[in-house]
Structure formats: structure tokens, C-alpha cells
Structure 1
Amino acid sequence: MKHYIKFELKNTFGYSIGMIVGGLLPLVLAIGGYHASNDAGRNKVLSETIFSICLPMIPLGLVMLPFTIAFAKDIEDGISTRFSLFGYTKLKQMIAKFISILFLVSGICIIYFLVLQIVLPLPVPSIAAVVLMICGMLILTISFYFLAFTIAWFFKGFNAVQGIAMVAYFGIAIFTGTIGGFDFTGVMKKISDFVPFNSFRTELANNWTTTSFDMSNVLIRLIAFMIFTILLFCIANIHLIPKKN
């Protein structure tokens, strides 16, 4: 299992576009979006807001792009099947892939936090804010992980999976206000609200130094989104069983 995790980490690092959009882009947007004023208090609030806005881009970029594309290439090249022949079942592969992507997301999040602590006048977060940060990143990573698996397994062909992964990345980024400033209404607004980026960002930014606050509402939204992606994964697998038979 240890060797397989190392293989997955190297595999994910091999896709520079994912490392750019999931690792470098959030930092660039956070630093570039900060404009200092003469008001120290306002600068702190702005840095908290910018940090919170760009933070969910890390699991979105790292999981939806390099992980999905790397796994699709493994399937097309028969690597995943060959692993199964040597005892690495799909379940073991899923566990190893999740551990590797969790290491990657955690590492990038730590770098992101440390760099912005140095560059921006970012206050030290409260323990409650850190708990929300960790829970939010973990749930979003799990959610995008199952969504990535669904795309890689359901759609056939490396080029098709790569295209769908790009559409999913930019679609989520646009709907959540990460890219562009679209003002959605009706059904589009409901879809935008369902992806829990905005509620997570708002709760984290507003309670950055609050020692205790009720985070149940945002956690429920995050968990609901995670359950939705797991259901999509299960439906895709049920759909694939008759084809295999």
C-alpha cells in the first residue's frame, strides 16, 4: 500500500496544469486580490476574506483535474487492471488514491496558509476557525474525490474524461463565483447555492478570530454536497455493472 501511495503522489504531481490551478493559482489570486489601505482593521478583514475565498480552490483544482486525468490515463493504459491482478483491488486502489490526494491537499493547504500569514496581515485564526477549516477541506476533498472517480469510471476514453474534468472544474468555479462575477437567478442560483463554497467562505471569514460559534449550518451544507457526490458515484457503478456482465 505504501508503494502504491507513492506511485499515486508521483502520478498526480506529473500533471502540471493541476498543480498550477490547485496549488499556484489560489496563492496568486489571494496575493493579487489584496489591496492594502490605511485602515489596519480593514486590512485584516480583507485578508481573512481573501484567504477564505481562495481556499476551496485547492481541493477543486487538485482533485478535479490532475487526479481525474491521471486515473483516466491509468484505466486506458490498463494499469488499474494490472494492479487488480496483483491483489490491489478497486477498493484498495480507492483507499490508496484517497490517502495520496489527502496528503497532497493537506500539504498545499499548509503552504497556502503559511505563505499568506507572511505576505498578508492575516490574524492567527481561533481554534474554532481552524476546526471549520479542517472539516471543510476534508469534506470538500472527499466530495470531489467521489466526483472525480465517477467521471473517470463512467466516461470512456482519456480525452473524453479530460474534457469532462475541465468542464466540471470550470463549471463549479463559475457557479461558486470563484471565476467571474455572474449573478445567477432561478435554477442556476439554486445550483450555485448547493455547492457549499459561499457558505463555507462566509462562515470562515466572519468567524476567523471567534473563539466559539455555531458551524452546524455550514457543516450540514458540506455534508449534503458530499452525500450527493457519493450517490452519483454509486449510481454510476450500478449503471456500469450490467455493461461488465
Structure 2
Amino acid sequence: MRSLFQEELELISEQLVEMSRLAATALDRATRALMDADLALAQQVISDDQLIDALRRELDNRAIDVLARQQPVATDLRQMVTALRMSSDLERSGDLARHVAKLARLRYPGAVLPEQLRPIFAEMAVTAEQMVLRAGDIVAANDVHGASELIQADETMDRLHREVFRILLDPSWTGSTQHTVDATLLSRYYERFGDHAVSVALRVVFLVTGVWHDEQMPGAYERFTTSVPREDD
């Protein structure tokens, strides 16, 4: 029974990693559709979101089946429940990529973003994609220390998010009302995408240490990860 449980757990971990890759691909394609006014690519992102949704359903059904058949307790139970929550984060990441693609489709053939904002959103997209891929690596390796990298990357994302609003609120901003609304929505989509990646990594910390915390608590992450030895220590 224990061997079967471990096999199921490995399959669930692999599915979480695959979800992270699909989410990164979706955001990359959605961003290209946004920048290039590519209607076909935007539609592909919207259609392909069902792949992430289907993978989440499969993962959740597998986890629930394991809970029902093997009735895990303590650490095993924590692994299953945490996997369910991580699948939710990654599925929502895919939804955010779909939102970007839908906006590109809505404004086609026009440009969603004025030239002034394009470099910022390009950087936000790259940062977000790297974050979700790193989250997948953290899941695969149960890397409790990797979460600190994503927390730092999220600070970059938050800085870019604030920069978008600084530009929009500056008296020199000449964009239309539509540009302002679209940029506000897009900035939120990318920022939330990064938040979900951080959430996945922090759930890995909980999985390994058994300690959960509000990520807004200053110093909480450092307090309970400094006691976990690194593999090269």
C-alpha cells in the first residue's frame, strides 16, 4: 500500500509540473498575441486553456481517490491536501493567461498597449513565465529554499506593477480611457500570475516543514526555513 501511495504521489507531482509548463506556455503565447495583435494565437490560448482545466480535474480526482482508498494521515494527508491547493493555483494561472488572450482578441485588429507601456509588459511577462516554471521545479524537488527566489522575483513583479500605475497617473500620460482601463487590467493579470507562482512555492514550504504562515508576515519565511538544512550543507 505504501508503495502504491508513493507512485500516486509521484504522478501527482508530475502533473503539477506539467501544469506549470502549460501555464508558462499559455502566458507566453497570450503575450505574443497581445503584442502582435495575433488573433489566431489569442484564440489558440483561449481554446488550449481546457487542457490545463482537464489536467487539474484529473489531478484532483486522483488525489481524492487516494484520500478515499488509503485514508492517509499526518504527512501523507498534508501532501494530498497541499497538492489540491497547488493545482488550484496553477489552474488559475492558466485562467489569467486566457484573460490576456481574450483582451487581445477583443481589441483586434487594434493594439491593446501604446508603445510607452510595451517594454514594461514584456518584462512582466518574462518574469511571470520564469516564476511559474521555477515553481514547477520547486514542486518536483520539494525545494523549500527555492521559495525565496520566487519571493524576490515577486518583488520585481510588484515594482513593475507599480510602475504601470505611476505612468497611468502621471500628468504626461496621453493614452485613451480604453488604453488606461486595458493596461490596468493587464497589469493586474500579470501581477496575480506571479502571486500564484509564489503561492505554489510557499505551499511546498508548508509541505516540507509542516508550518504554514501568512506570506505577508515579515520574516516568517526566514524563521522557519533557516532551520531546514540544504542538501549541500
**TM-score normalized with structure 1 length:** 0.37
Structure 2-normalised TM-score? 0.38
